[in-house]
Amino acid sequence: MFVDQAGTHKMFDLVAIGNPVYDIIKTPFVESLGRVLSGCSVNAAITAKKLGMKKVALVGCIGEDFERRFMREMESRNIQLMIVKRSKETTGFKLKYLDFSGNRELEVLGLSEGISRGDIPEGVFNTKAVVVGPVIGEVEVDVPAAFKSRGVTVFLDPQGYLREISEGVIQHCSNPMALEACCESHVVKPNMLEAKLLSGFDEPIKAAISIHERTGAMVAVTLAEKGSVIVYGRRAIIVPAYPTHPVDPTGAGDVYLGAFAYYLHKGLGAEEAASYASAIASIKVENIAGHFDISLDEVARRALWIRSRVKIKRLR
């Protein structure tokens, strides 16, 4: 999956692109003490780094209000930070979960500036893989296209292309730019709502097949407590979730994507990589935001449980 010539030196193993966010999180179980670090690109990068990926970088825009704090948090994790723009404010949301199934309201607390191809330093393209993870459409479609044209494996979370702001609150919406970004990616990871917006289907496998056929990408649809579905070629891989007691589902899909990218990078097949990604996501939901430790032994134990229950459906 990783498009890289043997013996070719790359500056980075993984680059994550998308604005960091500082959120206020309230679930039926816990509430954050003030604003906590999150964001698709951030959570994916941190996860890959925790698992052992050596050279990880993050590209985004941030406001002066959280810049120093963010720099400290990235430095402590040994993630190279490239702030391409400084904004008046940092992107952030007030997340209020309405039930135990992950349905939530997102009130906008701040928005940073956008990221286009011209904002990205040339050295950043010297990477084996990139995770493109906008939270509210801040990454232009020319960004994944530029990486793909250079032979970089592109992992996309399309969530930010399928959101708009209405009266200070995030709403989901269809957007042609989302499908265009998917076409510039090798792996696309929507949740079920996003998959429906992209495909028009509300059944996971049908939605994944539709997106795969229209884009050529491997499609991984995450389904919260129901696990995930991977469609690639003529196979649908049905991956269960590990049974657990969720405290905060915020960022679980981001963590899944970062782990999926890491294990594909290691050379695992989609079934194994998805089993590990699902295992790590199950650990994440037991903790608030992205602040959790990973025991590789526990990850392996849960992944083995999941892998033994994976089902393969042959597609016509």
* pLDDT, tens only, 104-148: 888 999 999 999 999 999 999 999 999 999 999 999 999 999 999
Token output for 191: 């949740």
Structural domain includes residue 3? no
* pLDDT, tens only, 187-214: 999 999 999 999 999 999 999 999 999 9
Structural domain includes residue 186? yes
* pLDDT score of 256 more than 80: yes
What does the alpha-carbon distance between residue 175 and residue 215 come to, in Å, rounded to a whole number? Answer: 15
Structural domain includes residue 254? yes
Number of domains the chain contains: 1
Specify the pLDDT at position 43.
96
Specify the pLDDT at position 4.
46
Structural domain includes residue 6? no
* pLDDT score of 230 more than 80: yes
* pLDDT score of 2 more than 60: no
Q: What domain range includes position 153?
A: 12-314
Average per-residue pLDDT for the chain? 93
State whether residue 211 is helix, strand or coil. Answer: helix
Structural domain includes residue 5? no
Specify the pLDDT at position 288.
80
Q: Is this model's pTM higher than 0.85 or not?
A: yes
Structural domain includes residue 169? yes
* pLDDT score of 173 more than 70: yes
Structural domain includes residue 2? no
Specify the pLDDT at position 1.
54
* pLDDT, tens only, 272-288: 999 999 999 999 999 88
State whether residue 29 is helix, strand or coil. Answer: coil
Residue with tokens 């963010």: 70
92-97: strand order across its sheet:
36-38, 21-26, 92-97, 104-110, 169-172, 163-166
What does the alpha-carbon distance between residue 151 and residue 2 come to, in Å, rounded to a whole number? Answer: 9
Residue 263's domain is classified under what CATH number? Answer: 3.40.1190.20
Specify the pLDDT at position 32.
80
Specify the pLDDT at position 312.
97
Structural domain includes residue 7? no
